[in-house]
Amino acid sequence: MILPKIEVRAVAKSFRRAGRVAESQIDALQDVSFSIAAGEFVCLIGPSGCGKTTLLRLMNGLIEPDAGEIFVDGKAGPVPGPWAGFVFQSFRLLPWRTIADNVQFPLQMRGIDASVRAERAREYLALVGLDGFDQCYPHELSGGMQQRVGLARALALQPEILLMDEPFAALDAQTRELMQIELSRIWEQRKVAVVFVTHSLDESIFLADRIILLRRRPGKVEEEIPVPFERPRWRYDIRALPEYSRLRAHLWDKIRGMVADEPQYKRIFQESA
């Protein structure tokens, strides 16, 4: 039997929120279960506040679940370790370090030899198309280039699992599409397991082998949808395919149904009916 790379079993997470009168409890996740195979690209989508980022933080060991367990290679425990890399929505580069030094920083924290660090920085900066920029500083690069540095930094750890929290959300539309292509190209070369949080339906369909749709808070798996399109997807326009429109419409109908009765959306959907 081949074990899944990551397995989330009946995970729940709540937070306490201080109010003017008394504390209240926010149930972020409840009974969440799914698995991810080695080398699989999975996107997490769902309404705002459904617990996508919370789930990623649980998988990265930044917080602990109130109930349930997360298994990596069949062993209980969160994902963090030399086999996991994390790419954030914000670039989180150290402004006083060069691009090469930023890529080397997590390797330095793990005590990796200086010559190995330098070689990996060169290798992964070249992989993301930034060879020749190693001695630049973050402020000298565009937003898209800075996010490439963040990706190179995560990949330099040579992870088996890559956790990505809306990494392209702050980019303009054109740069975002280019970064999606770049990530797809790199993933097809490296075949690490990827868990990618996004609010974009189009992004999830373009990137994922499988989409996991979470329902509104408390988050729980509503549906798991395989993405049927052949790779590499940047070589043809998948948006022109009828199945693309059907899949996107299905996802949007699900999410719209989850939020249609929320006060901030109810009037909008009533007026558009």
pLDDT: which is higher, 197 or 1: 197
Q: Looking at residues 168-190, what average pLDDT do you find?
A: 89
- d(C-alpha 189, C-alpha 183), whole Å: 10
Give the percent of the chain with pLDDT over 70: 89
Q: Point out which residues pair with 13 in neighbouring strands.
A: 29
pLDDT: which is higher, 267 or 126: 126
Per residue in 223-265, pLDDT (tens digit) is: 999 999 999 998 999 999 999 999 999 999 999 988 776 655 5
The model's pTM is 0.88
Q: At what angle do helices 173-190 and 143-155 cross, to 10 degrees?
A: 20
pLDDT value for 18: 65
Q: Looking at residues 134-147, what average pLDDT do you find?
A: 91
Amino acid identity, position 164: M
- d(C-alpha 264, C-alpha 4), whole Å: 39
Cβ atoms < 10 Å from Cβ of 257: 14
Q: Point out which residues pair with 44 in neighbouring strands.
A: 197, 212
85 touches 154 (CB < 8 A): yes
Question: Is 180's pLDDT higher than 90?
Answer: yes
pLDDT value for 77: 65
Question: Is 1's pLDDT higher than 60?
Answer: no
Q: Which residues does 201 contact at the CB level (< 8 Å), separation at least 6? A: 45, 248, 251, 252, 255
Per residue in 85-118, pLDDT (tens digit) is: 888 777 788 899 999 999 999 888 888 899 999 9
Can the peptide bond before residue 218 be classed as cis, meaning omega within 30 degrees of 0?
yes
Return the CATH number of the domain spanning residue range 6-83+159-237. Answer: 3.40.50.300
Q: Are strands 67-72 and 6-17 parallel, antiparallel or unpaired?
A: antiparallel
- d(C-alpha 177, C-alpha 91), whole Å: 17
pLDDT value for 202: 96
Q: Which is nearest to 163 in space by CA: 6, 31, 29?
A: 6
- Helix H, strand E, coil C: the string for the chain is CCCCCEEEEEEEEEEEECCCCCCEEEEEEEEEEEEECCCCEEEEECCCCCCHHHHHHHHCCCCCCCEEEEEECCEECCCCCCCEEEECCCCCCCCCCCHHHHHHHHHHHCCCCHHHHHHHHHHHHHHCCCCCCCCCCHHHCCHHHHHHHHHHHHHCCCCCEEEEECCCCCCCHHHHHHHHHHHHHHHHHHCCEEEEECCCHHHHHHHCCEEEEECCCCECEEEEEECCCCCCHHHCCHHHCHHHHHHHHHHHHHHHHHHCCCHHHHHHHHHHC
Question: Is 63's pLDDT higher than 70?
Answer: yes
